[in-house]
Chain A
Amino acid sequence: MQSLTPEEQRRTAGFFTTEISHRVKRPLRLMEVCGTHTVAIFKAGIRQLLPAGVELVSGPGCPVCVTPNEYLDTAIAYSRQPNVILTTFGDMLRVPGSSSSLLVEKAAGADIRIVYSPLESLDIARDYPDKQVIFLAVGFETTAPTAAATVLTAARADLKNFSVLSSHKLVPPALQALLDRPGVRVDGFLLPGHVSAVIGVEPYRFLQRNFGIPAVIAGFDPLDILQSVYMLVRQLEDGAAKLENQYSRIVPAAGNPAACKLLEQVYQPADTVWRGLGMIPSSGLVLRPGYSAFDSRSKLPVVVEPASEPKGCRCGEILQGSIKPTACPLFGRSCTPDHPVGSCMVSVEGTCAAWHKYGAGRWQL
């Protein structure tokens, strides 16, 4: 927190870590399900501050990492079409598909442009009326409303050469699917703050009701995360699973009703495949029939190569928190941030990338 002096921050962190150490009576496995949390935890060295009995594991919280190869292969197939401009967030560029990546295709001459906002795609569509502009709509509930707003804007402007290749995914169904798997052990969840800023608190209630698992919606400053871990430890100590909101300065209980309404207007839930978790019912978003003119898949048929996964990559198990990156035979050897094999290494928010970048010298092969 910027308003605290470094010394105040150090002492507040000291309070939390001391209290956590005193209260932990058994080994605990706490899972964060947000790539931004993953990076924040590593960057601040929070794992090193916690007692040995508290293990922080990363779940399926990085949208790029959970995007299946089939989606990348489809995007790559579109990029090879002569009349297509692809627009994408920068995270997607280096993700390997079955046999190529968008970066490789861009180097080979494909017109692929990085945008900061999906709305920029509409300006490009206006500037190039003879081209089809396809936006790679990837992301969780934080990002999906921005794509929905863009589709709505395109519909109002009657823009006929813009569409989205949608792979938006929803966090609560993925948590449900994870917990339904045999052998998955999670004692508490650090829930994603910015996803919650949109969907609010209630969609996570099933964690408490159906599974009796403590959960805390957490902010992103190191002290936010430490406080959230402390709140989880307190819940576990009391033996009463609750759903708490540490990030109340950004997350009202109802979330963002306007964003949810817009999302509901443009998209509908659909079964979708997550890398590492497989098909999860109603965990994805597809455009409603009224917006099919903006759906790349139905508007622009394309031949896509059969998807294949890289040999030896264990991203799937890493995304479930069931193994650490160091258990993957490729980690740090043939799979590094400079030469990523799997998606968990290619995304800056990927678990493997974070382990590699911030764990240098502390992990052993």
Chain B
Amino acid sequence: MCLAVPGKIVDKQDMLATVDISGVTRKVSLMLLPEAQAGDFVLIHAGFAIQRLDEAEAKKTLELFKELEKYAELDA
């Protein structure tokens, strides 16, 4: 039930955002994330943006995974 999907805000009018979710456009409420701006990647749950994606943190996680794969023991 706590499933949420990421999307990019392409337009913001007051507390209503137009969000691009994998090519599909939807209207999403910003009542729970009023500081979100056009261009932000946000997490959407039940028609509301609930959190912003921290791109620097996402990059760190990705870089860590890329780094670790170099140390993986390959199956013979």
Which residues between 62 and 111 of chain A lie within 8 Å of chain B, taking CB atoms? 62-64, 89, 91
A354 CB to nearest chain B CB (Å): 14
Q: How far is the CA of A48 from the CA of B35 in the complex (A)?
A: 42
Known: A89-B1, A146-B48, A192-B2. A1 touches B65 (CB 8 A): yes
Say yes or no: B4 contacts A14, CB within 8 Å.
Answer: no
A residues less than 8 Å from B33 (CB atoms): 256, 258-259
A residues less than 8 Å from B43 (CB atoms): 194, 197, 250
B residues less than 8 Å from A153 (CB atoms): 31
Say yes or no: A15 contacts B68, CB within 8 Å.
Answer: yes
Bitwise interface map of A from 135 to 146 toward B, beta carbon under 8 Å scored 1, else 0: 000111011011
Known: A15-B72, A262-B32. A140 touches B51 (CB 8 A): no
Say yes or no: A11 contacts B47, CB within 8 Å.
Answer: no
A residues less than 8 Å from B71 (CB atoms): 15
Task: Say yes or no: is A295 at the interface (Cβ < 8 Å to chain B).
Answer: no
Q: How far is the CA of A36 from the CA of B3 in the complex (A)?
A: 6
Say yes or no: A143 contacts B46, CB within 8 Å.
Answer: yes
Main secondary structure of the interface of B (DSSP, over half): loop
Q: By the criterion of a CB under 8 Å from any partner CB, how many residues of chain B are at the interface? A: 35
Q: How far is the CA of A142 from the CA of B46 in the complex (A)?
A: 9
A219 nearest in chain B by CB position: B61
Task: Say yes or no: is B24 at the interface (Cβ < 8 Å to chain A).
Answer: no
B residues less than 8 Å from A142 (CB atoms): 1-2, 4, 45, 50
Q: How far is the CA of A250 from the CA of B58 in the complex (A)?
A: 8
Q: By the criterion of a CB under 8 Å from any partner CB, how many residues of chain A are at the interface? A: 53
Q: How far is the CA of A309 from the CA of B17 in the complex (A)?
A: 44
Q: How far is the CA of A37 from the CA of B13 in the complex (A)?
A: 34
A213 CB to nearest chain B CB (Å): 22
Say yes or no: B72 contacts A140, CB within 8 Å.
Answer: no
Known: A258-B34, A262-B31. A116 touches B72 (CB 8 A): no
Task: Say yes or no: is A195 at the interface (Cβ < 8 Å to chain B).
Answer: yes
Which residues between 53 and 76 of chain B lie within 8 Å of chain A, taking CB atoms? 53-55, 57-58, 60-62, 65-66, 68-75
B residues less than 8 Å from A249 (CB atoms): 53-55, 57-58, 60-61
Bitwise interface map of A from 219 to 248 toward B, beta carbon under 8 Å scored 1, else 0: 000011001000000000000000000001
Give the most central of B2, B48, B65: most A CB within 10 Å: B2
* A-B interface, 5 closest residue pairs, ranked by CB to CB distance from nearest: A117-B47, A11-B69, A11-B72, A249-B58, A14-B72
Using a CB–CB distance below 8 Å, which chain A residues touch chain B?
A: 1, 3-4, 8-9, 11-12, 14-16, 18, 34-36, 62-64, 89, 91, 116-120, 138-140, 142-143, 145-146, 149, 152-153, 192, 194-195, 197-198, 223-224, 227, 248-252, 256, 258-259, 262, 347, 349
**Chain A to chain B contacts (Cβ below 8 Å), 20 pairs:** A4-B62, A4-B65, A4-B69, A14-B74, A15-B68, A63-B1, A63-B2, A91-B1, A117-B29, A140-B2, A149-B31, A195-B2, A249-B55, A249-B60, A249-B61, A250-B54, A252-B51, A256-B51, A258-B33, A262-B31
